[in-house]
């Protein structure tokens, strides 16, 4: 039998190489755009302020946004399956105040920590089951999760609870230094979450099924993949990340507070999308979401350097988000025309 696909003869031209690249890696383009924007922001800020790209400043970027990064890892899983999880901000608040109250009543961290993670994962499980088995729109199911989490946070305490537990405070106060660079254990937690998330997405069958479900749940089912388990699992992972973010944020602020993270779910969705994950599912990277967090954090820092209102952060992030959604739409439209 003759070869069916008439493979284009290998020509070492720029357009040929570009063609091969786009036919293989079209999905990476939005993330590359995010990296480009990050570089432009950093370089631009350095040229404008002169003292922006400092080790101190860059280290703080990770430290200040560690909780956001943890949430973004979970959200990436959910959005790649074409879902959405609006509950993460209030799950973070609930697990944070829950953990803080446990610690305040003398429970050691080794018990409080798993309790926080499990309670976050439990809310995720609830959302996942609603989405998968009761056929509820992810938007609605996770909205229920949002209210549930916020309500539970207020049940635990109406006001903030200070954390005195030395182990938890250690997570924030310890600084591993390298020259002027430093990283706290909370920063390490965020980085580890990103690395594990990226590995799971790329190197496990579960991770690949997440992409398949996002590409087409119907196809994935007909291909014999376990769609139901995967769908539930991504929400559990997102809830788990919510619990972990609750820990990170409580350590960061030294207290649990039931009003934490109001609107954070939208920031998380924004950074994930800016990082190159398609809201319609099937494409995206955990590492891209990390870039998205850095873009977001950099914008925030620039605005505080300028001494402007922080509300400008939201305006700029909103504009970027719009830009990215249009860019993604254009890329998707192009690949649809190509097929």
Partner 1 sequence: MLADTDVPPVVEMRGITIRFPGVLALDHVDFFLRPGEVHSLMGENGAGKSTLIKALTGVYQIDSGTIAVDGQARRFETTADAQRAGISTVYQEVNLCSNLSVGENVMLGHEPRGRFGIDWNGVHREAERHLTSLGLELDTRSMLSSHSIAIQQLVAIARAMVLDCSVLILDEPTSSLDRGEVEQLFSVIRDLRDKGVAILFVSHFLEQVYEISDRITVLRNGQLVGEHLIDDLPRDALVTEMIGRELGDLAALSKNADREIDRTGTPVLRASGVSRRGVLQASDIDVYDGEVVGIAGLLGSGRTELVRMLYGADRADAGTIEVDGREARMHAPRHAIGHKIAFSSENRREEGVVADLTVAENMILGLQAQRGWLKPVPKAERDAIVAEYMDALGVRPADPTLPVGNLSGGNQQKVLLARWLATAPELLILDEPTRGIDVGAKADIQRKVAELSEQGLSVIFISSELEEVLRIAQRVVVMRDRGQIGTLDSSDVDIDALIDYIANSEEGSVTR
Task: Tell me which residues touch partner 1 (CB under 8 A).
Answer: 1-5, 7, 20, 23-24, 26-27, 199, 202-205, 208-209, 211-212, 214-216, 218-226, 282-283, 335-336, 338-339
Alpha-carbon dihedral angle through residues 71, 77, 83, 84, given to the nearest 10 degrees: 10
Nearest residue (CB) to partner 1, 27 versus 236: 27
Nearer to partner 1, 225 or 247 (CB): 225
Burial label for 243, CB within 10 Å (0-12, 13-18, 19+), is buried
CB of 334 to partner 1, least distance (A): 10
Give me the least distance between CB of 69 and partner 1, in Å please: 22
What Å distances lie between residue 86 and 18, 51, 203, 239, 242, CA to CA? 38, 37, 27, 11, 11
Residues shown for the chain: 339
- Residues 30, 285: Cα–Cα separation, whole Å: 10
CB-nearer residue toward partner 1: 311 or 339? 339
Alpha-carbon radius of gyration of the chain: 21
d(C-alpha 7, C-alpha 53), whole Å: 47
Euclidean distance between CA atoms 256 and 299, whole angstroms: 26
User: Residue 152 contacts by C-beta under 8 Å, 6 or more apart in sequence?
Assistant: 94, 98
CB of 7 to partner 1, least distance (A): 5
Q: For residue 161, how far is the Cα from the chain centroid?
A: 27
89 vs 214 by CB, closer to partner 1: 214
**Residue whose CB is less far from partner 1, 43 or 223:** 223
Q: Minimum distance from CB of 70 to partner 1 (Å)?
A: 22
Whichever of 4 and 178 has its CB closer to partner 1, that residue is 4
Q: How far is the CB of 187 from partner 1 (least distance, A)?
A: 25
Q: Compute the least distance from the CB of residue 234 to partner 1, in Å.
A: 16
State the minimum distance, in angstroms, from the CB of residue 178 to partner 1: 28
Q: How many whole angstroms separate alpha carbon 229 and alpha carbon 84?
A: 17
How far apart CA 226 and CA 248 sit, in angstroms, is 33
> Is the CB of 116 or the CB of 225 nearer to partner 1?
225
How many angstroms separate the CA atoms of 12 and 73, rounded? 39
Least separation, in Å, of the C-beta of 291 and partner 1? Answer: 20
* CA 58 distance to own-chain centroid: 19
185 vs 215 by CB, closer to partner 1: 215
How many alpha carbons lie under 13 Å from residue 156 in its C-beta half-sphere?
28
Measure the CA–CA gap between 201 and 233, rounded to whole angstroms.
13
């Amino acid at each position: 039998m003759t070869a069916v696909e008439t493979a284009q003869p290998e020509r070492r031209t720029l357009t040929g190489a570009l063609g091969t690249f786009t036919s293989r890696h079209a999905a990476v383009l939005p993330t590359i755009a995010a990296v480009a924007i990050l570089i432009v922001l950093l370089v631009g800020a350095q040229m404008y302020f002169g003292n922006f790209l400092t080790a101190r400043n860059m280290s703080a970027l990770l430290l200040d946004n560690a909780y956001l990064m943890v949430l973004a890892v979970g959200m990436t899983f959910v959005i790649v399956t074409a879902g959405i999880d609006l509950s993460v901000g209030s799950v973070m608040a609930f697990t944070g105040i829950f953990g803080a109250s446990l610690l305040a009543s003398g429970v050691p961290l080794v018990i409080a920590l798993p309790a926080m993670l499990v309670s976050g994962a439990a809310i995720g499980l609830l959302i996942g089951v609603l989405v998968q088995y009761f056929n509820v729109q992810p938007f609605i199911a996770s909205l229920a999760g949002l209210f549930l989490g916020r309500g539970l946070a207020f049940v635990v305490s109406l006001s903030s609870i200070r954390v005195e537990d030395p182990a938890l405070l250690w997570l924030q106060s310890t600084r591993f230094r390298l020259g002027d660079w430093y990283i706290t254990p909370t920063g390490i937690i965020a980085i580890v979450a990103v690395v594990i998330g990226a590995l799971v997405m790329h190197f496990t069958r579960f991770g690949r099924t997440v992409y398949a479900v996002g590409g087409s749940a119907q196809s994935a089912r007909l291909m014999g993949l376990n769609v139901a388990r995967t769908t539930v699992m991504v929400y559990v992972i997102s809830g788990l990340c919510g619990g972990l973010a609750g820990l990170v944020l409580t350590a960061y602020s030294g207290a649990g507070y039931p009003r934490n993270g109001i609107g954070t779910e939208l920031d998380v969705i924004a950074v994930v999308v800016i990082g190159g994950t398609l809201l319609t599912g099937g494409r995206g990277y955990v590492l891209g979401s990390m870039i998205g967090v850095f873009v977001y954090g950099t914008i925030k820092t620039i605005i505080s350097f300028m001494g402007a209102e922080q509300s400008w952060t939201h305006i700029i992030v909103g504009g970027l988000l719009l830009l990215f959604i249009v860019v993604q739409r254009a890329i998707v439209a192009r690949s649809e025309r190509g097929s």
